[in-house]
Structure 1
């Protein structure tokens, strides 16, 4: 028979301080990673959206006032993308065509400033205005402004798609 040496060391046993050290190390790593990500995020984007927020707010208020005035006019516009041209049709509150409007407009890509096209509209029929675009394809954002002889103004923004 063999004698068991009671003085021999037992194997590794997890004690309370091991658990405390492990949990503390885990949370220390989580807090260090969170702090690092927070510092990196604040360095790359400090939260400032505009350099002139007050002026931007004033411009936004003017835009709202302009849209309210436009709504009171009761004009309606429809825009269409035809091969090589943009077609706008303007009607008044009763559905009658709006002739003799002064039109300006531009086309630009939704995601970039590159490729902007300034449009020059001509009236081809009462209330129907056409501008040539040349050969274009894909999605474009149209911004068109119309001024009436009586002083009324209208801003139309649409996304048009050419095949």
Structure 2
């Protein structure tokens, strides 16, 4: 990188977001849609360097477009996952959509001391059982216990690593 390019990039460090947006307009010829200072600084620096020293070769650009066109973009996880264990046998497993990874396995008993009582709730496949009642979510259960709205994960301490539960 030559000294002129290095100096032009160094100046970006002291610019405000407004100044970076103006510089973005100068080098790209369009208005920046972001106000993220770090992103603007990196993009403008990249463009200054690309203009000074040359951009990607035409061959590299074509190859990148080919790769992008061939890529199968997956927006959602597949409902079934098929894996081959060996050449004779394939295993298909259904992926459970929507199960929160913070939740312990069904059958786990969550416990919490609240107003002098120990509250125990069993994790079910599709809800939580406490005191003979089944609740759709931990938040619904926590709200039932306290009488006010609570985040169920916070109430039972599941936001911390490991949470509060019995095996």
Return the TM-score normalized by structure 1.
0.20
Structure with the higher strand share, 1 or 2: 1
Structure with the higher helix share, 1 or 2: 2
Greater relative contact order structure (CA < 8 Å, 6+ sep): 1
Q: Which structure is larger by alpha-carbon Rg, 1 or 2?
A: 1
